Amino acid sequence: MRPILPAWTETDPTLHALLGAAIDPDRKVLDALERITPIGGKRIADVGTGIGHYPMLLARRTGRTYGVESDPLLRAEAQRRAADAHQPNIRIVDGSPVALPLRDGAVDIVLTSHVDPDDASLAAVAEACRVLRPGGRLIVIGHYGRDDVASLLEPEVVEHATEATRRRTGWWARNGFKIKVVHARLDLGDETTAHELLPRLFGDRGRAYLMGPHSPSLRLNLGLFHRVREPDA
């Protein structure tokens, strides 16, 4: 899983594992996915899978899950985790959001956090639609904002998310996406983990937050931005 918080770009597998455990520990995203489209028995491509966070969570429900990752260190860790879990329906493969190693119409769902609400991402959207069957669904996990985490982000990052998620005029709406908001949380209950993650996620703002009295979790609103691949004319 590529971290869904905009400021975080580390490729250390250990930190990815910490972040995967801290973001949405109640797994509300999985429940929201089921409400958007049933996932039982479906073929899913998780693009930018990182260490295979979502394939591991989804493996018992899906028919086949492809974890697509271009970073060799993260990809190797995802392959190790899938092998250790004895999940034969997970395949971890090399690829990027604009060059997926899948045939046309290969999957029912593309799940990704590698689409930023900017026209530069339209190539990745088109590539995701290529590998979707007609009627399949592209689901982008991103930061919806309007939450506790927003106070720790750079103002321009917050403004970008807010503008893009406006219901009728934002980037997502203009490009055919519907928005489902998931009211999740960032778990900071373990102080060691909190002190490991927050400075990397939010820099000086994260350090300042930890220096004062703070809550064991932060409200984190995630957006599931989704659109259907329409049948070819």
Q: What is the pLDDT of residues 3-43, one digit of tens each?
A: 445 445 667 888 889 889 999 999 999 999 999 999 999 99
Q: Compute the mean pLDDT over every residue in the chain, rounded to the nearest whole number.
A: 92
What structural domains does the chain harbor? 13-185+219-227 (3.40.50.150)
d(CA 155, CA 215): 22
Q: What is the DSSP string of 88-139?
A: TTEEEE--BTTB-SS-TT-EEEEEES---SSGGGHHHHHHHHHHEEEEEEEE
Span 169-214, pLDDT tens digits: 999 999 999 999 999 999 999 999 999 989 988 889 999 999 999 9
Q: Which residue has the higher pLDDT, 5 or 148?
A: 148
Per-residue pLDDT tens digits for 77-134: 999 999 999 988 999 999 999 999 999 999 999 999 999 999 999 999 999 999 999 9
Q: Give the per-residue pLDDT at 42.
A: 96
pTM of the model: 0.94
